[in-house]
Structure 1
Amino acid sequence: MTSRFIKSWSRRRDETPLTPETDNINPVPRLDPLANEPKDALKNSSVEVGEEKVIPGVSSSSSDSLTFADDDPAVRDIPASVRRIVSLEDDPTLPTLTFRYFVLTLLFVIPGAFMSQLSHYRTTFIPFSVFFTQICSDYLGIWLAKVLPSWNVKVPFTKYGFNLNPGPWGVKEHVLVTISAASGATYNLAFAPVSIAELFFGQRINPGVAIIFMWSVVVTGYSFAAISRQFLLYDPQYPWFQALCQTALFETQKKQREHPSALSRRQMVLFFSVLAFITLWQFLPEYVFPMLGSMAFLCWVAPRNATANFIGAGYGGMGFLNLSFDWSNLSNLSNAGNMFLTPYWTQVLIFLAFVVNCWILIPAAKWGNLGSYKHGLMSNKVLTVNGTKYPLTSLLTPQGTLNETAYAENGPLQLGTQMLWGMFFDYASYTSALAWLATFGYPQIREAIQKIRARNRDKNHDTINFQYTDQLNILQRSYKEVPLWWYIALFLCSFVSITAMVGAGQLYIPIWTYFVAIGTGAVVVTPLGWLYAISNFQLPIGTTNELLYGVMVQAVAGHKNPTGASVYSSIAGDAWYRAQYMLQDQKIGHYMHIPPRATFFSQVFGATIGIPVNYAVVRWVLDTRFDYLTGAKTDPSHQWTGQYVQSTLSTSVQYVLVGPVRLFQEPTFKPLPYGFLAGLLCPIILYGLHRLFPHSKLKFHLWNTTIFFSALATFYGNLSTGYFSGFIGSFVVMFWAFRYRYELWAKYNYILAAAFDTGFNFNMLLIFLFFGAGKIIAMPNWWGNNADSSERCFAL
């Protein structure tokens, strides 16, 4: 098969250095990781890559690579970090949806969906990393290309056929297998209401209804991706950092497989070396030497001093000057993701929120007058007035209504002070996301709308990405775009299914609340997707969804079953949650020049394969671990605790049974609704300051209140370690290395990000298989694994 490369510009110009200084993409405000100006930027028009001379950002996969000047319309709108990674050439003859793709998709989606769903009932989880699929599928694809016969097979009773082995294993097959696994090898939000209804109310949802509902909530989110894709997918100024990380690994694997160079060899050696090191290292903090997970220096100095222990402890304390060498503590902090991916400004906001929460508010509450309720300061349990755990199940009648007698006996619900201000800032982050997009994000949205209108006026062009003139969008014009009616058809399938199930009384919610759920989901898709695309920060809003449902059902008779809140949250939450991930994976397809229709199919196909597996896991767990999950029996292994389900039930009881009106009348809860007002006003104030003082050193446009409030809402009571260490690491990687060692950063940063996450997930899988899958094997206690406190904070 001869390669045919699509080219739009082949003229050579006088190039200037492709560096962040010349990257003129300037979102308003500038929120990409290239906002810092490197000091040792490229000095020449080309850089060394192995033994080759290439122009930065241009693929060296062919002998006639394209070259572009920085002011060329083909590249000037693409951020420098993207140009350094993504190939600007495409071979449209590469195979996509082949027989090998379907074999490998089934191979990875089925076990991935099983392990991911099972984890949500257990205390310890079984990870299934997308990087694991990305690495293993490449080697298996190469093997299949060697062993499968090149037979042409005709599909029975049709005129269609396919070849079992159409040629060498291609990068597009590789990408599509990984995207399918990312869509299907995961858990399903709708498992919570299915589980709660059966565990706590004795109501088993029909298996057919459950599977269709689980499929429908996913498809709702996928259809909602159409709302934002013209803004967030095709516009080159939105990098989608997780997508960029995976693209870096895809490109490295592709070059090493097809056109090995000194750089690609070094990148793969580094990747597997770091992967092996992290895999082995994580056995120390996770199993052998837990003290490495939280090194509380103040506890070492004063191991029997209660005050010093509380200040220094990372588990149940303030975490002051506490260091961690556990990647699980250093990464994925406050929904920010890997420190190698998240922009430095985002990580600064998260660390400042941690400082305010743990080093200012907690001591003010413990030793000052912040908060009148003094029990359970750092507890995440619902408590009684005297500080004991509230017997929430006693509030439920068999009919799923509030037991007024039990409520009068136990008194009003109470929460620890940290949980209370966490709820306040959680509400603030929700309205802040909308206000921030309406102020700081409006210029980009307005520009995108103007481009769309210009395209619609030009009758000669009907492709969605015509309004963008960068090389990546130009290459994608070679393929048929996904028509809007595909998304509409998906939505109608889910809409008709859920409407029928709700109308038949199968899903515990009034039918009109379903319309509100999809309406609110549609509203937040763009602001939350925009935030994730520019900051790698994913805003969780499940609690707000359940609060909104609680407000709505208080006004109608019936529908007081707490399961309804979980149903509503599944619909409204997945509407934006799945939309974000669909857009992120479509961005990978965009970067890797995959036909959009093939990407769309791979996502829907992966999810459709994974959902029956998800339900099979739910059914098996409920049939075999029922008494452990309800608490009727104690699991000897302490693994089948169902913490996620129990937590969801607690929130549902608060908002549905007790109700927001009664809850917020209590003195400790009264200030919480003002969080919505604070989240609405703060972005407006900051935007006004930014317009008044656009060149201020305070950089008001970087003080994203959505991220700050959401990080403040994080519950640090169980884990306050890792944030200080993570901030130090982010300073080294995303500030110092980027600014002063830009060449090394550009070549290896995203490879390191993939290696760290892959090594950690592989280690977690090994620990589960070796020490937790059957009989629980505990590590013997020693100095670094003290039986009373692994941190040696004995007075805490």
Structure 2
Amino acid sequence: MSSNTQTVVAARQDSGLIDDIEKKDLNTGTPSSNEKLDYVETIDSDTTDDREEQLRLKEVEELEARLAAGTADDQEYLVHDAHDLVIKVLSTRDDYDLPVLTFRMLFLGLGFSAFGSVLAQLYYFKPQTLSVSQGFLLIILYFFGKAWEKALPSHGLWWYLNPGPFNIKEHGAALIMASTSSSSATAIQVISVQDLYYGNKLNPAVAIFTLLSSQLIGYSFAGLLIEALIYPSVTFWPSSITPANMFQALHFDGGLSSKRTKIFWLVFTVIFCYEIIPQWIFPLLTGVSIFCLANNSSGTFRNIFGGASNNEGMGLLAVCFDWNLIGSPCLYTPLWTQLNQNIGICLTYILMSAVYYGNIWQGKRFPFMSQAIFDINGSQYNQTAILTNNKFDQAKFEQIGPAYFSSTNALYFITANLAMGATLVHVILFYHDQLMPFIRTFNPWNKSFNVVHDEHYIVMKRYEKIPKWWFLCLLVIAYAISQATDYTGNSHFTWWQLTVILMISLVFTMAYCTTSAILGFAQFSTQLDGFYSMIASYMVPGDPIANMYAALYGSQPTVQGIMLLGDLKLGQYLKIPPKINFLVQVLGCVVGALLNYVMELSIVANQRAALLTIAGTRLWSGQNAQSFNSNAIAWGALGREMFSPGKTYYMVPVALALGALMPIPQYLLHRRFPKNKFLSNFNTGIVMQYSCFLSVGINTSVNTSSFLGIMSQWWMRTRHPRWFTKYNYIISGALDGGTQVISFILNLAVFGAAGTEVDFPQWWGNNFNLSADRCAAPA
């Protein structure tokens, strides 16, 4: 074998998606045995060539033609694994000559980036929080793009404004740009809290560069993972399958003459009309609980069986009929991922009941579900009274006494840390081969390179890749800006503390990007915030401001990394040139940062009094900023008093180490019994993350979601493969699209997001004196 070797990244490996996986010969693509194909093997560079790739691509195109024409048999429709999914559900078609970087794409992308970022920031300070979803943007961009195409001529000089039909690549690039900017960045919370509560109004340049650097670091981390987590089929990014399928149906299926397109718009219209009922007219449908209907006075019934209102209960055996709560992940998340989630949810019912009714951590003194901090009497803790000059004061703390969490909230912190430790070790043990390209990134003498056997990637090879040095330069620049803004912004966060947090963040970004790519499993955002706040409570004890910056630079890179990689995978499915994909993401990031800050500055200046009150007003509320500040005080000021050895919640940090040990016995058994499906697919990280999943929010949707997930990813996929391959993901997109559009309209029209709340008249299914599911309202 020659010294200069290639690493062949095979496309067929168990991704938690499915059952039996057949080994395929690299040259023919035909099954050679029923053994699992190793993800990475090293072979001589002379054994593969372009001809092999073209043969493989031709076979896939022929299969796609048979599937589209309906002439394939059921076995050909059957989806066994990730590779089957991406070639049978999605087309490898690439219309190479389609214009992408057009005035129309840039105008729509920048316009909706501005729209999304302004709206997201506006509603961060509203009583009714509203998010701008990717599905909503996809549909709205399609309408605007098609209207542009029809309204303007496309001949002569007009071609520069209207270069013909609004195509899939323009649409995809505009969506990626808009969705990148359509959220309120974590840095905005830090900036607004410093201004509102600590009298530290950041210099505009410092604020904007803090916004940019915290997000661009995440982009840089993700760029190092591209070879490992974008190119191969096994890293198929389940969350990108549905939007990619929607794009292809809208642009490739020939308009309304296509059956798939007709079904999409029919389902879209039906759910658009239907969602008015559960969301406004008949809220009982958000959670039908026989037990609450039978007894609406029992607090125990509310805690166990209720769940249709925020922080109400666990929703055991409740049924939800509101797609806004159910959502499409149950239709696209791999089966084994959902089974692991379901195991965790079953543990939730047991563990939450045990800690509360067993009076662990004196839990009965406090509400069953709450994210607040309490004193020993059950009253809300006076957090500001323990601070002097915005730092922890031991003498004042001794006077006021210790702080407590609700028992279920403390349990959440423990299971979150168990999940983080378990996820990291699980990824290292079970997916080390997949991560080899990422690991080799750090070896400057590495001379091997990757040959990826994935048909979508083969088609994309005609486009120039994003040079790795782009991301390395971006990382250096963003790191330098972060260091500069930390000192000029009075963050109390030193250079070495920031560096340590970023190194930890890189490790967990790698872990969670891997699970998102292969399993469709991502972290909870509050989970990351809590973890980094806990780390900072030891690094910078007693300092809430420094604690906020630790949460910012710890969690934001992971969140941004997952977003970037998911959109890069979507770009690969849509055949958007990688450099254009990178360009639109960076543009979206810059636009979002600038407009996030402008809106924050205006709102805080003009609505300061309303934002500082607990209740707020009918139009404005500082609830999100207040919550972020409370967490910073709890972890930053009280961290050592609550989590150190011998303190009430010492098990929270210990759980991280215990979680890291959990996957090891499973891995050893897996090595001994490699063909055992349970040992291959059981994931302690997912189970632990979902073992206190119901400690916050509206919880009636989990039973319906679990049922639909099993029906989709097992029953329909195996028993009705033809229907599953053609319609499962397009219906998923239609359900989400219609729901998100009507939810946006309802939020503006009747839920108070635009300033005026309009309640539907009270009746049996909309009782204002009880919870939405007619349980006793929480005290």
TM-score of the aligned structures, taking structure 1 as reference length: 0.84
Q: How does 1:258-269 map to 2 (within 5 A)?
A: 259=254, 265-269=258-262
Which one of the candidate residues 302, 306, 323 is aligned to 1:313?
306
Instruction: State whether structure 2 residue 393 is matched by structure 1 residue 393.
Output: no
Higher helix share: 2
User: Within 2, Cα distance between the matches of 1:742 and 1:695?
Assistant: 25
**Mapped contact 1:396–1:403 kept (Cα < 8 A):** yes
Residue number in structure 1 paired with 2:33? none
After superposition, the Cα gap between the structure-2 partners of 1:774 and 1:373, relative to the gap in structure 1 and judged at 3 Å, is closer
Q: 2:94 aligns with which of 77, 80, 90?
A: 90
Q: Rate the CA distance shift 1:447–1:756 in 2: closer, same or farther, 3 A.
A: same
Distance 1:498 1:618, change over 3 A: same
| Inter-partner Cα distance in structure 2 for 1:57 and 1:227 | 32
1:246 aligns with 2:243: yes
Paired with 2:564 and 2:719, the residues of 1 have a C-alpha distance of 35
- Picking from 288, 292, 308, the partner of 1:295 is 288
From the superposition, tell whether residues 244 and 720 of structure 1 become closer, same or farther in structure 2 (CA, over 3 Å). Answer: closer
Q: Deviations over 1:258-300 (max 9, x none)?
A: x4585xx222222222222222222222211111112121122
Decide which of 564, 580, 587 is 1:582's aligned counterpart.
564
Tell me, which stretches of 5 or more residues in structure 1 are unaligned?
1-23, 39-52, 155-161, 332-336, 459-463, 555-559
CA RMSD of aligned residues (A): 3.1
Question: What's the CA shift string for 1:518-576, capped at 9, x where partnerless?
Answer: 2112222221111011221211322111111111113xxxxx54122222221221212
Map of 1:190 onto structure 2: 187
The one of 110, 130, 148 aligned to 1:144: 148
Structure 1 match to 2:467:
483
* Deviation larger for 501-510 or 515-524: 501-510
* Structure 1 residue 385, shift from structure 2 partner: 0.6
Question: Is the Cα–Cα contact under 8 Å of residues 431 and 680 in structure 1 kept in the other structure?
Answer: yes
2:651, 2:291 → 1: CA distance?
Answer: 35
Residue by residue over 1:390-436, the C-alpha shift from the partner in whole angstroms, topping out at 9 and shown as x without a partner, is 11122233x21123344223211101111111111111111112100
Instruction: Classify 1:600/1:702 alpha carbon distance in 2 versus 1 (closer, same or farther; 3 Å).
Output: same
Change over 3 Å in CA distance of 1:524–1:282 after alignment to 2: same
Answer whether contact 2:348 2:694 (CA < 8 A) is retained. no
1:322 to 315, 318, 321: 318
Taking a change above 3 Å as real, the CA distance of residues 539 and 452 of structure 1, as seen in their structure-2 partners, is same
Which residue is 1:672 aligned to? 652
Report the CA distance between 1:685 and its aligned residue: 1.4
Residue 124 of structure 1 is matched in structure 2 by 128
Give the match for residue 209 of structure 2: 212
Q: Compared with structure 1, are the counterparts of its residues 25 and 635 closer, same or farther at alpha carbon in structure 2 (3 Å cutoff)?
A: same
Aligned CA distance change for structure 1 residues 688 and 479 (closer, same or farther; 3 Å)? same
Structure 1 residue corresponding to 2:669, chosen from 689, 712, 722 = 689
Q: 1:174 aligns with which of 171, 174, 199?
A: 171
Aligned mates of 1:454, 1:508 — CA distance in 2: 35
Letter in structure 2 aligned against 1:635: G
Q: In 2 relative to 1, CA 447–218 (structure 1 residues): closer, same or farther, beyond 3 Å?
A: closer
SS in 2 for 1:545: helix
Deviates more, 1:233-242 or 1:405-414: 405-414
Equivalence for 1:44: none
What do the CA deviations read for 1:427-470 (whole angstroms, capped 9, x no partner)? 11111121001111123334887999999757xxxxx7x51133
Query: What amino acid is aligned across from residue 487 of structure 1 in structure 2?
Result: F
Question: Contact (CA 8 Å) 2:238, 2:517: kept in 1 or not?
Answer: yes
- The 1:759/1:660 distance shift into structure 2, 3 A limit, reads farther
1:467 alignment partner, SS class:
strand
Given that 2:419 and 2:686 are in contact with CA atoms closer than 8 Å, whether structure 1 keeps it comes out as yes
Give yes or no for contact 2:355–2:363 (8 Å, CA) kept in 1.
no
Which residue of 720, 723, 730 corresponds with 1:751? 730
1:737 & 1:700 partners in 2: Cα distance?
Answer: 25
Q: Counterparts in 2 of 1:428-439, with a 5 A limit?
A: 428-439=418-429
| DSSP 3-state at the match of 2:186 | coil
Aligned partner of 1:643 in structure 2 is 623
Shift of 1:199: 1.1
- CA–CA distance in structure 2, aligned partners of residues 381 and 449 of structure 1: 41
The residue number in structure 1 matching 2:229 is 232
Q: C-alpha separation between the residues in 2 aligned to 1:647 and 1:679? A: 28
- 1:592 is aligned to 2:574: yes
Give the letter for the 2:549 counterpart.
V
User: Could you say if the C-alpha distance between residues 795 and 604 of structure 1 is closer, same or farther in structure 2, counting changes exceeding 3 Å?
Assistant: closer
- Paired AA for residue 718 in structure 2: R
Distance 1:144 1:731, change over 3 A: same
Q: 2:767 aligns with which of 781, 786, 792?
A: 786
Structure 2 equivalent of residue 728 of structure 1: 707
| Residues 298, 283 of structure 1: alpha-carbon distance in 2 compared, 3 angstrom cutoff | same
Amino acid across the alignment from 1:423: F
Deviation per CA, 1:474-519, whole angstroms, max 9, x where unpaired? 2222111111121122222212222222233533311221111221
Specify the SS of the correspondent of 1:33: coil
Q: Is the 8 A contact 2:228 2:437 kept in 1?
A: no
Q: 1:319 to 1:78 in 2, by over 3 A?
A: closer
Q: Distance in 2 between matches of 1:528 and 1:294?
A: 31
Counterpart amino acid of residue 434 in structure 1: L
Give the superposition deviation at 1:695.
3.6
Cα pair distance change 1:486/1:366, threshold 3 Å: closer
Equivalent pair of 1:113/1:610 in contact (CA under 8 Å): yes
- Asked if the contact 1:430–1:676 (Cα under 8 Å) also holds between the matched residues in 2, the reply is yes
What residue in structure 1 maps to residue 53 of structure 2?
A: none
Q: Is the 8 A contact 2:18 2:80 kept in 1?
A: no
1 CA distance for matches of 2:391 and 2:748?
A: 42
Distance 1:76 1:97 in 2: 37
Query: Are residues 671 and 496 of structure 1, via their aligned partners in 2, closer, same or farther at CA, if it must alter by over 3 Å?
Result: closer
Contact 1:424 1:713 in 2 (8 A): no
Shift of 1:306: 4.3
Q: Does 1:33 find its partner at 2:17? A: yes
- 8 Å CA contact 2:670, 2:679 repeated in 1: yes
CA distance in 2, matches of 1:323, 1:143: 40
* In structure 2, C-alpha distance between the alignment counterparts of 1:795 and 1:205, rounded to whole Å: 42
Q: Deviations over 1:734-789 (max 9, x none)?
A: 22111111111111111112112212221221112211112221222110111221
Does 2:640 correspond to 1:653? no
TM-fit CA distance, 1:686: 1.1
- Cα gap change, 1:677/1:368 in structure 2, threshold over 3 Å: closer, same or farther? same
SS of aligned partner of 2:391 = coil
- 2:501 paired with 1:542: no
Partner AA of 2:416 in structure 1: D
Q: For residues 373 and 339 of structure 1, what CA distance do their matches in structure 2 show?
A: 33
Matched, 1:364 2:346: no
Question: For residues 444 and 480 of structure 2, what CA distance do their matches in structure 1 show?
Answer: 35
Cα 1:583–1:152 shift into 2, 3 Å: farther
> 1:467 aligned to 2:467?
no
1:154-173 CA-to-partner distances (Å, cap 9, x unmatched) read 9xxxxxxx933334332211
Q: Distance in 2 between matches of 1:342 and 1:553?
A: 39
Q: Is the 8 A contact 2:192 2:604 kept in 1?
A: yes
Q: Which residue of 2 aligns with 1:613?
A: 595
Aligned partners of 1:600 and 1:79: how far apart in 2? 25
Secondary structure, counterpart of 1:766 in structure 2? helix
SS in 2 for 1:791: coil
What stretches of structure 2 of length at least 5 have no aligned partner? 1-9, 23-59
Structure 2 letter corresponding to 1:650? S
Q: Secondary structure at the match of 1:389?
A: coil
- What secondary structure is seen at the aligned counterpart in 2 of 1:608? helix
Secondary structure at 2:760 match in 1:
coil
Identical residues among aligned pairs (%): 25
**Structure 2 CA distance, aligned partners of 1:385 and 1:249?**
53
Q: Distance in 1 between matches of 2:486 and 2:296?
A: 57
Q: Rate the CA distance shift 1:255–1:190 in 2: closer, same or farther, 3 A.
A: same
Assess if the C-alpha contact under 8 Å between 2:331 and 2:712 holds in 1.
Answer: yes
Q: Partner letter of residue 411 of structure 1?
A: G
Relative to structure 1, the CA distance from residue 770 to residue 727 in structure 2 (aligned partners, 3 Å threshold; closer, same or farther) is same
Report the CA distance between 1:661 and its aligned residue: 5.6
Correspondence 1:379 to 2:370: yes
Report if aligned partners of 1:59, 1:86 keep a CA contact under 8 Å in 2.
no
SS at match of 1:187: coil
Counterpart-to-counterpart distance in 1, 2:531 and 2:335: 28
